[in-house]
Structure 1
């Protein structure tokens, strides 16, 4: 039997998604909890690995088990065994042909950036921060150059293991509410550190270090050394994974990150 779980988590205190010998990852915590409910060793497959300090509002995983359990056991039972900063939102049984990673047709990330002169305390670890004022319109113009199918080598981490740097960004929008900027990115897939590298470059444009057209030049160069440093993971959220409707993957209700940044966080369009 193949089970699909939808998770949310605060990644601040974990060494990322992927299992580590030290047992410090989100995958380690989830597998330990699911294995106890199943009473057998379980390995979970994720839609996308998140880095150290990165959060998720809608992470999708699947696993195979011989255990016959009610669906509630995979939600309430697993949650009872998980740390407080990781939660299963819903679960469903699915076809053995479904794969959390390879069946996904789109991923969505949100980046929350606090733009004020002093560092945050209440939102520490949950938002990115930049101290100098940023120009929204110039960042929006620069972002438009990235929409479409491109070689994103200039935004790719050196340790990225993807076979191809070609990706298709279908949506990249930036809104401002007070001192917060919310970056909404959707693509068929993302390269390692791609979102954080894009945010870093948009901040360079926003603080007027470079004009918006620099983003096009950078993209065309395919050269990571010309780009801005990788931005902080603190404000990054995996916010959605989209699948073809035939898989009947459950959706969650709209959930704002913060009260003044209400935006749909589910995987519907």
Structure 2
């Protein structure tokens, strides 16, 4: 009886260890894929950085004239870059994990992108029903660091059809794009006025000007008494804007500083156009 239990215990332990190994095996294979992907990403980043060197050669200037080196060498460059990528990747991974490796589909330079495609068969620790390896495909895609605005070959800011892309303007945390740089939402049309006259002024909407909550606006209301306050100085001058609602002590008050950035329309078209600019 005891011998029978010993045999059963031995079989149970063996099966338990086998199933544990089967559960661990996929995690081990995923970790191998992760390591291979990390190497591919490192090589892809390196190639994308080297693209800037190529761009510098293409846009080199001699005597103020741009040198056109042509694009006939693009294919050869792409092939050499793909060969370099495959050699680097295979040199840094454990070759015992993989077999039947192929980099077919790898392309360097198409659409200013680095595409590294690696197909291989990952070896299993042991054969399962006659299967000793499984097919795997991993891809790394990165945009080249070309250092150009909108194109590597002097295309400028163009949309997908090769046409000039309109330049518009956005502010910090902007919810609309502006066609006019002088739009009152972006342009600080400041007007210097005497503090004592602020109470009589109205903005374009007919509203009164109140004290700025950031710079204080004199902190003394709209009366002339604010002219003598320490924050106002001896001039008693404040600044207002036609479409503003507050008066300011300083021209550089952070509440009125516009962080304006010029961008292609295609990048911010989803924001919608400013109604003020549309009416102009």
Asked if TM exceeds 0.5, the reply is no
Place the TM-score, normalised by the shorter chain, in its bin.
Answer: under 0.3
Structure with greater proportional strand content:
1
Larger radius of gyration: 2
TM-score normalised according to structure 1 size:
0.23
Structure with greater proportional helix content:
2
RCO higher in structure (CA 8 A, sep ≥6): 1
TM-score normalised according to structure 2 size:
0.22
